[in-house]
Each structure stands twice: as structure tokens, then as C-alpha cells.
Amino acid sequence: MRLLAKKAVLNGLSVLPYIKTSLSPGSGVVTYYLKESGVVPYLEKLGFDIVGYGCMTCIGNSGPIDDNIANTIEKNELVCCGVLSGNRNFEGRIHPNTRANYLASPLLVIAYALAGTVDIDFETQPLGNRADGSPVFLREIWPTRAEIQEVENKYVIPGMFKE
């Protein structure tokens, strides 16, 4: 998450206002290493604020969506979806207005939020554009395994789980 969120922000990407975002880590340990690794400011810049722990989001406790958006969904009978890294993918579970839900890795949750749609081919379509108008593709901001391992080795310390 850290590297993708950071690279997205540094490339000028943001999440559109009609996309509901939240973050509910599995435990305080996760929050600890997210903070220690420096990811929290980038996640917050993208709208992924920590709203609680554990099953907050997957049981629908991540907070409301904007009333105008909810009214538009209901009035037009839109099929709107959620993309989450939890385990609740049935209609209405994470929010009454979500009629479809997709389970994805945390990195892909961020990628879909940046794209603003699940109807995207990440290989051929950009997530958005830089300030100069040039496109930003997922492959440009996707962290390498070495980058991920560096963060894991430095910040995700097995001893933290014993505290």
C-alpha cells in the first residue's frame, strides 16, 4: 500500500469525490507499521483515513456516503459497487447502496479508487493524468517485490506481534 499510494500522490493522482474511501486495518499493529513506514499521509491524501479496526468496513461501519450521491443512486436505480480487501462481497453488506462488491488486494483497492471505476483495463488505460496531462498507468506506480520486501523488512517486525 505504502509504495503505491506514495507513487500515486507523487504523480499527481487523486481519488474522485464520488468514490467512498476508508481504511480499517486488522489491528493496531498494522496501524503502527503503516505510520512507521510513512504511508499514512499518502493514504490520507487519497482519502483512505483509518476509520476503525477489523471488520469495520466489511460490516458496513465505514461511514455514510454523500447524500447527493446516495439519492442519485437510488433515484436512477444504479448498480454501484464496492472494491474491498475484506471478505464481504454480497449485496448491501458494506453499504446499502452497493449492489455488487469485488474483493481485491489492498493495492488493487487503491488502484480502482484512483481509476474511479471497475470497468478499466489496467494494461491499456491510465489511472489518470499528471499535471502536465501525461497519462499514469498502474504499471508505473506498482511497487516491485524488492520495494515491498524492503518496507516489510524495515517496518513489519515480528516482535511487534508479541507486544
What is the domain partition of the chain in residue ranges? Answer: 2-151
pTM of the model: 0.89
The answer to whether the CB of 127 falls within 8 A of the CB of 137 is: yes
Q: Could you give the CA distance from residue 67 to residue 12 in angstroms, rounded to a whole number?
A: 28
What cell numbers appear for 138 in the block? 498502474
User: Is pLDDT larger for residue 33 or for residue 7?
Assistant: 7
What cell numbers appear for 34 in the block? 503503516
The answer to whether the CB of 73 falls within 8 A of the CB of 97 is: yes
- Of the chain, the percentage scoring pLDDT greater than 90 comes to 51
pLDDT of res. 160: 66
- Assess whether pLDDT exceeds 90 at residue 45: yes
Which CATH architecture group holds 2-151? Answer: 2-Layer Sandwich (3.30)
What's the pLDDT tens digit per position in 105-163?
Answer: 999 999 999 999 999 999 999 999 999 999 999 999 999 999 988 888 888 776 566 65
Q: Could you give the CA distance from residue 19 to residue 22 in angstroms, rounded to a whole number?
A: 10
Single-letter amino acid, residue 50: I
User: Is pLDDT larger for residue 140 or for residue 82?
Assistant: 140
Flag the least confident range among 9-13, 17-21, 43-47, 88-92.
88-92
Task: Give buried/exposed letters for 64-78 (b at 16+ CB in 10 A, else e).
Answer: ebeeebeeebeeeee
Q: Could you give the CA distance from residue 27 to residue 32 in angstroms, rounded to a whole number?
A: 9
pLDDT of res. 162: 60
